[in-house]
Structure 1
Amino acid sequence: MSDPVGALSLNSSALKQEELFPIREVSRLTGVNSVTLRAWERRYGLLQPTRTESGHRLYSQADIESVRSILAWTERGVTVSKVGKILAKSSSAKAASAPVYEVATASEWQQWQTQVRIAVGCFDDLQLDRLYGQIFSSYPLPVVFQDILMPLWQDLLMRHDDVSQASEWLFYDTFLRGRALQRLHAMRSQTEERVLLAALPGHCRELELLVTGLLLSDSSAAVTVLGVGQPLGELAYLCERIKPLGLVLFSNQPPNEQLPQTLKRLALAVNCPVSLTGACADLIEDVLSGTAIACLGSEGRLMSRRLQQFLAGHLDT
């Protein structure tokens, strides 16, 4: 397999000196106007650009990724005032869980994303497959999906209405779903123990659910991903027939007022431990504290570990 660093033509000086962008360029890249960017900084503390001697703002690639994350959360219905807490928790989890060999610069991931974006724009499935293999040879699974592949998927999704973007997103989405299914099947063949993963109806797209299945899987238990649209009312029947180690529910949408009671009723109906993961878990964790339902969060480096701790009875709920 070719050297991924060589394929990207990375050099040490490029990695040491991070590129900085003026506010007008950040606005162009993200679609967020300058007034909103300043408000996110001043009112909510969501961004921390550096300043030139004359006081002009300069944004790093990490700042741009933060802007895109904020957009993704607000698209799901999360208010801007709540986004800061979620981003801080995610950043803290990444810093605490990532070993030294996982640490890479945002600019390095951006260069991989650029190569992938070019392949997607050309609808070149062979080149996309080569890049996919190179990325997996360089980083562990959580970094591959959460830091490299899925942010680009989300960016294309948000630009879905632009000319040609719908076709590019669909091409990329189809490719990633196929690869995720392959990996889930390979993991399933390595162990008979399994955990069921189901999405709350209407709360995610299929790829988000499949990637979550990959992030939750480990050598002791594979994850069986139930189809998007799985009725909650039939989960008790499935758990009775399959007898999984646990049931994980997934949602990337803000919780409504009825959700805590819905989850509590479901936990009483099924014959295995119940947990919640995804963006919703970060938002509802305080409400579910002290119940039988565990919140696994949305950080890929921690989800599998927290699930195993919960199933072993070592995770406080």
Structure 2
Amino acid sequence: MSEQAMDPASSPLYPIREVSRLTGVNSVTLRAWERRYGLIRPQRTPKGHRLYAREDIRRVERILQWLNRGVPVSQVRDLLEQAEPTTNDVPPPDISDWEGQRQRLLQAVDALDSDTLDVLFNRSMALYPAGSCVTELWQPVIDQLEERWGDQFGAELQRRLLESFLRTRVAIRLYHANQAARGARLLLLRLPEERDLLRLLLLALVASASGFRVEWLDADLPLNEVPLAAERFKADAVLMTSGYAEHSDLIRRQLPRLAEQLERPLCLVGPVARIRGAELENTQVASLGNELPAALSRLHGLLGR
């Protein structure tokens, strides 16, 4: 039976998982807003489960509006207690305005503005699931940057700044997440033609958020050492990514041979999987696709977990 209930006035009440779906705020954040900051006060069932009224959901949306304006969460409660804005007030920005966020992110990279990158990363990760942040914000921006970088003056500086920024933020998250994760252990590697770590880092971020324990190497690893690395890291699967088609010999001969040597699945993720997937259909190499959340979902099924 659903936890959704009706109060005496026939006003619907929603369980925390439904509020998370409706607002995009994960349940951990909703609990923190309640316990640490007193921002919301849901009702409780006799068993202690939280139930949220429509007014609670509207309050969550107002909290998001203030956070999107750059207000620290510790200051939001005072603002919420003030009078409701009038209809003549300028409406707050739409928190799901992904296009606006993508433009701000591009501008921050162009300006080499690490402070704005930090704000955009932390805010998006606080308000949305990691998979949504990657597919709606970070991956499209990186795709657009790679299209225009080419031989553009200053492109390498922008690339390395963004890589260094994401390496630090993702590594911190992985360190803490791996302590608590109980899922399968993944070894993430990039293929030879991949120029930087950007796609690998986004893959690591989504994999960790999907419950996997993640190990990754930021340097190229010879293919003949991958079985040793997988064994020493106790990996349940090896994932390799690239934004390029890679050499035909690697795809058609070397990777299938490597998959036969491994005692765990060998998977391709990213544009290379979309480009070369058809060539791997009759091999032991699993092509998980280009969309990261969907790819990690397929991996769960592949591992039977």
The TM-score with structure 2 as length reference comes to 0.63
Alpha-carbon RMSD across the aligned residues, in angstroms, is 3.1
Question: What does 1:28-47 correspond to in 2, within 5 Å?
Answer: none
Are 1:282 and 2:271 counterparts?
no
Question: What does 1:79-228 correspond to in 2, within 5 Å?
Answer: 104=96, 108-157=97-146, 158-159=148-149, 161-162=151-152, 164-191=154-181, 193-218=184-209, 220-228=211-219
Contact 2:241 2:270 survives alignment (8 Å): yes
Write the distance in 2 (CA, Å) between the matches of 1:237 and 1:225. 14
Contact 2:191 2:241 survives alignment (8 Å): yes
Write the distance in 1 (CA, Å) between the matches of 2:256 and 2:155. 41
Secondary structure of the equivalent of 2:288?
Answer: strand
Secondary structure of the equivalent of 2:187?
Answer: strand
Are 1:249 and 2:209 counterparts?
no
Contact 2:186 2:235 survives alignment (8 Å): yes
Secondary structure of the equivalent of 1:237?
Answer: helix
Q: Deviations over 1:276-303 (max 9, x none)?
A: 1111111222222243221110102201
Deviates more, 1:231-240 or 1:283-292: 283-292
Contact 2:215 2:233 survives alignment (8 Å): no
Q: How many residues align?
A: 222
Contact 2:109 2:117 survives alignment (8 Å): yes
Secondary structure of the equivalent of 1:297?
Answer: coil
Write the distance in 2 (CA, Å) between the matches of 1:215 and 1:280. 18
User: 1:131 corresponds to which letter in structure 2?
Assistant: L
Deviates more, 1:304-313 or 1:157-166: 157-166
Contact 1:188 1:224 survives alignment (8 Å): no
Write the distance in 1 (CA, Å) between the matches of 2:110 and 2:191. 32
Question: What does 1:43-82 correspond to in 2, within 5 Å?
Answer: none
Match of 1:267 in 2: 259
Contact 2:265 2:285 survives alignment (8 Å): yes
Contact 1:255 1:283 survives alignment (8 Å): no
For structure 1, the 5+ residue unaligned runs are 16-102
Contact 1:202 1:229 survives alignment (8 Å): no
Write the distance in 1 (CA, Å) between the matches of 2:158 and 2:218. 24
Write the distance in 2 (CA, Å) between the matches of 1:10 and 1:134. 22
For structure 2, the 5+ residue unaligned runs are 1-62, 72-88
Write the distance in 2 (CA, Å) between the matches of 1:11 and 1:160. 40
- Identical-residue share of aligned pairs (%): 25
Question: Considering only CA atoms, is the larger Rg found in Structure 1 or Structure 2?
Answer: 2
Secondary structure of the equivalent of 1:198?
Answer: strand
Write the distance in 2 (CA, Å) between the matches of 1:126 and 1:283. 36
Are 1:237 and 2:228 counterparts?
yes
The alpha carbon displacement at 1:243 in A equals 2.5
User: 2:224 corresponds to which letter in structure 1?
Assistant: G
The structure 2 residue matched to 1:308, chosen from 292, 297, 300, is 300
Q: Deviations over 1:203-260 (max 9, x none)?
A: 3421211111222335643121123311111011122323311111222211433222
User: 1:115 corresponds to which letter in structure 2?
Assistant: R
User: 1:228 corresponds to which letter in structure 2?
Assistant: A
Secondary structure of the equivalent of 1:217?
Answer: helix
The alpha carbon displacement at 1:122 in A equals 4.5
The TM-score with structure 1 as length reference comes to 0.60
Secondary structure of the equivalent of 1:247?
Answer: strand
Change (3 A) 1:244 1:165: closer
Contact 2:134 2:202 survives alignment (8 Å): yes
Higher RCO, 1 vs 2 (CA within 8 Å, ≥6 residues apart)? 1
Contact 2:244 2:271 survives alignment (8 Å): yes
